Amino acid sequence: MKYLIIILITVSLKSSFAQNGIIYGTVTDYQGNPLVGANIILGNTGFGASTNEKGIYQIVSIPNGTYEISVSMIGYKKLVRSDVRINDNPVKVDFKLEEMSIQSKQVVVTASKYEQQITELPVSASVINSNELSERNVSSLDYALRYAPGIMMNLDQVSIRGSSGYSRGAGTRVLVAIDGIPIYSGDTGEIIWEIIPVTEIDRVEIIKGAASSLYGSTAIGGVINVITRNISNKAFTYLRGSYGIYDKPSYSVWDWSGQRRPFNIFTLTHTNKIGRFGFTLSFSRNENSGYRQDDYFKRFLGYIKANFDFTDNSSLTFLANSMNQTRGNFVYWKDSQHVLQPRDADQGQRVISGRYMFGLIYRNKFNSALSYNLRTSYYYTGWRDETSSKDTSKAGLLRGELQVNYKSNDNLLLISGIETSFGKVRSNLFSNPKSFASGIYLQGEYKFNFPLTLTLGGRYDYSKRETLNGESSVSPKFGINYKLTSSTIIRASAGRGFRAPTLAETFTSTTAAGIKIKSNPALKAESNLSLEAGINQSFGNLFNLDLAMFQNEYYDFIEPEVDTKDGQVFFGNVTRARIQGIETGLNISLIPEVLTFHSDYTYLWARDIEKHEPLKYRPRHLLYSGLSYTISPLELGLDFRTWSKIERLDNELVDLGLVKDGDKRVAVYVLDINASYSLIDLGLPGRIIANINNALNYNYIEIIGNLSPIRNYSVSLEFTF
């Protein structure tokens, strides 16, 4: 009997153990960083666990069987894996979660040069996260900005709420920075979008309206700050390859090559951290044969980010970006019968360029109240035209900024800083001028308990070009953010912005396409008064509506114009301008974490109030909408962009016969489709992405005589290991 009881207990125990399994593994983000506190749920069993500080989870005593496992965490897309078989042996299942944009919880650092939630800002802001860049398979950041609300790209010139038209690369009214380091070139002041390593972007923060009170010149229309990825805590390699083709043009008369023109991108990144030292190395090669004749490019990008943590509160970060590129030079189309071919006089032109940026950022947090950081950078740009004019330019821009933040108590934060830059140019176009600029700023933010946040600040700037008299500017700013209820936020701001003319706008002297351009040493800084009021209403993560009204008064607006005395073109302070508008943004989660919809509408009234005519290249209506459908492992996305016909473009080029059929322009309708499929279920740490851009194959222009990209298809594979 005694033996029988022992046998029965043994069998019972064995049976009990045989019916219970263990599942364990890690949950990380796409960069391999462990995610702490992610929830792992086993179907409807009630079994579950959370990840520990190393991102590890373990669920024990699971009855044998086949289960569906879901992993979720705030800020990341929910991941579901079905058909996980639990048996006597421990089962290891690892998860990589993809970041998700939850606008209301989004943290930004650009608006006030310190970390704060987007809902705390007194100004309008939006964020593009890395996953959006990846899914849209953008090769250059300017393509991604075309989806951001209120932003227009006029070829390669960015315009926030109508701030800019098109001036063929001379000057910009939007300051673009990488990790807070501005990247406008020393000669033309333009943004070289291609130098920004798209695969290394964590997010892109966009601040709308004048931000000169913190950023000085150029930030007259807003700021776009590219935040690069943090260095992963463990070794991590990322590999991505894309191949695509342009479709045939809509009309056979436009089919200049008889081929479907291919393009490809290859990127390899490795990141690691050894003790207190971490680094990221990235290399990218991008080749595009061009849908237009002489519109090809071949580009090599290098990127290094290295970081050393001296202590938990101090660190030094080194950034280096490089770009070497050879590209064709498509200026204007030949005529409407040959929109994909350049004019005969421009054929065969190409431009060879090299751009190199080095940055050093030292951060130190003395204590909970006082911190500072020092940002220095050197940006070299060089290019030469292989055209009849043989234009060339080499420019260096050395820049330094010391920023000190002081938090006196829980209510008051002071942000202050000093910034200086030196520029030097050697060029046959712009002569060999030098530039100097310096600014000092102070901003205070006080949080009342109502809860109201009050922002008050200002910046003094001095700038000097070569031997011309220096100019100074004061840019004050005032802003409030008031949380009416937990889901209703009111904001308002007023600020002055300014932009010093670039060396190119001041000193360019050349003849191009039969037009002589002359220098204008009398050119002075332009300025604006930027006003905005907005309200944001949300219902949890399901619904968010944002409404903003804005007005920008521009003084001494810098535009290219023709001197009636001699017929030469020059940049002058030609007008007073007013840009008013309304912007709405709607985000709806139709099926939580599965189906989301967004729609952003901007109404622009952009007028030259002296000549009583519309400003060039500003459409009256812009509407960007998108639909995203996620059912793991598949994701589908639709982006639809439309804007009304621009009222004015460079009509003088048409009148002079330089751009035949140049007055052809239309309202724009662009549909982009993307789909991605995670390969993790197949045991591969990656995903496949397919894109159809301009799916309607709609023919439109962003600037005169330049047809925008026709329909194109691409497939990308990306792996992380």
Partner 1 sequence: MKRYVIIFALTCFIAFLNGCDKGITPEPEALPKEAGFGGSIIFKGNWPQGVTRTHIVAFRTPLLSSKDFNILNLAFVSDSIPYGTRQIVYSSLINPIVPIKNGDYAYLAVAQSKTPALSLERKDWYIIGVYYINNDTTKPGTLNIPENTFIPDINITCDFNDPPSQPPF
Would you tell me which residues interact with partner 1 (CB under 8 A)? 250-251, 253-254, 335-337, 339, 344-345, 511, 514-516, 565-568, 656-658, 661, 664-666, 668-669, 671, 695-701, 707
Distance CA 572, CA 560 (A): 6
DSSP-assigned beta bridge partners for residue 273: 278
Distance CA 562, CA 576 (A): 17
Q: How far is the CB of 661 from partner 1 (least distance, A)?
A: 6
Residue 687 half-sphere exposure toward CB, CA atoms < 13 A: 19
Q: How far is the CB of 519 from partner 1 (least distance, A)?
A: 15
Q: How far is the CB of 429 from partner 1 (least distance, A)?
A: 17
Of the pair 515, 533, the CB lying nearest partner 1 is at 515
Of the pair 58, 337, the CB lying nearest partner 1 is at 337
Of the pair 273, 665, the CB lying nearest partner 1 is at 665
Backbone angles phi, psi at 336, to 5 degrees: -70, -15
Distance CA 690, CA 149 (A): 24
Of the pair 229, 334, the CB lying nearest partner 1 is at 334
Of the pair 230, 336, the CB lying nearest partner 1 is at 336
Q: How far is the CB of 251 from partner 1 (least distance, A)?
A: 5
Distance CA 457, CA 218 (A): 18
Q: How far is the CB of 516 from partner 1 (least distance, A)?
A: 5
Dump the DSSP string for 205-249.
EEEES--HHHH-TTTTSEEEEEEEPPPPSS-EEEEEEEEEEEPPP
Of the pair 420, 644, the CB lying nearest partner 1 is at 644
Q: How far is the CB of 658 from partner 1 (least distance, A)?
A: 7
Backbone angles phi, psi at 635, to 5 degrees: -130, 135
Give the single-character DSSP code of 709: P
CA distances 96 to 34, 153, 191, 684, 719, Å, are: 9, 34, 35, 12, 12
Distance CA 195, CA 235 (A): 25
Of the pair 510, 551, the CB lying nearest partner 1 is at 510
Distance CA 549, CA 124 (A): 10
Of the pair 53, 566, the CB lying nearest partner 1 is at 566
Of the pair 345, 480, the CB lying nearest partner 1 is at 345
Distance CA 425, CA 430 (A): 8
Of the pair 478, 669, the CB lying nearest partner 1 is at 669
414 and 444 in contact (C-beta within 8 Å)?
A: yes
Q: Of the candidates 407, 450, 512, 391, which has an alpha carbon nearest to the alpha carbon of residue 112?
A: 407
Query: What 3-state class would DSSP assign to 141?
Result: helix
Q: How far is the CB of 253 from partner 1 (least distance, A)?
A: 5
Q: How far is the CB of 631 from partner 1 (least distance, A)?
A: 14
103 and 94 in contact (C-beta within 8 Å)?
A: no
Of the pair 484, 666, the CB lying nearest partner 1 is at 666
Q: How far is the CB of 699 from partner 1 (least distance, A)?
A: 4
Q: How far is the CB of 344 from partner 1 (least distance, A)?
A: 7
Distance separating the N- and C-terminal Cα atoms of the chain: 59
Would strands 277-288 and 56-63 be described as parallel, antiparallel, or unpaired?
unpaired
**CB within 8 Å of 385: residues ≥ 6 apart:** 329, 349, 350, 351, 391, 392
Of the pair 199, 519, the CB lying nearest partner 1 is at 519
Of the pair 46, 514, the CB lying nearest partner 1 is at 514
Q: How far is the CB of 701 from partner 1 (least distance, A)?
A: 7
Q: How many CB atoms are closer than 10 A to CB 559?
A: 17
Of the pair 490, 656, the CB lying nearest partner 1 is at 656
Residue 595 half-sphere exposure toward CB, CA atoms < 13 A: 2
77 and 100 in contact (C-beta within 8 Å)?
A: yes
Q: How far is the CB of 510 from partner 1 (least distance, A)?
A: 12
Q: How far is the CB of 562 from partner 1 (least distance, A)?
A: 10
Distance CA 138, CA 147 (A): 11
Of the pair 136, 664, the CB lying nearest partner 1 is at 664
> Which amino acid, residue 349?
Q
| Token representation of residue 620 | 């009256």
Q: How far is the CB of 332 from partner 1 (least distance, A)?
A: 13
Q: How many CB atoms are closer than 10 A to CB 100?
A: 18
Q: How far is the CB of 33 from partner 1 (least distance, A)?
A: 39
188-220 b/e (C-beta count within 10 Å ≥ 16 → b): bbbbbbbbbbbbbbebbbbbbbbbbbbbbbbbb
